[in-house]
Amino acid sequence: MWKTIFEFSKTIIIALIIALLITTFIKPTLVKGYSMYPTIEPYNYLIVNRIPYITGKPSHGDIIVFKAHVYSDTGEEKDLIKRIIGVEGDVIEIKDGVV
């Protein structure tokens, strides 16, 4: 009986560790708005890979998901999905509404 309990406990612990690793490095995200249309359609699901940014930095053209101080109607903090147009050291210029 103890062997069965031990095996069951071991399986649960391994499953929890795997779930923790997956949610740390990969994040499912639902796109709710039109700001990235037509690249990303509204109400599509994205699987966000966080691994490249653990050791590296975002570069031009990358699409990123980040928490911002923007809140939904329910008061929940929103994730924003945007494309990188400039990185540290770049000068971004907007003329007549065009970047």
Q: Which residues are catalytic?
A: 35, 82
Distance CA 15, CA 9 (A): 10
39 in Cβ contact with 62 (< 8 Å):
no
E strand or H helix at 20, and its extent? helix 2-25
Helix, strand or coil for residue 93? Answer: coil
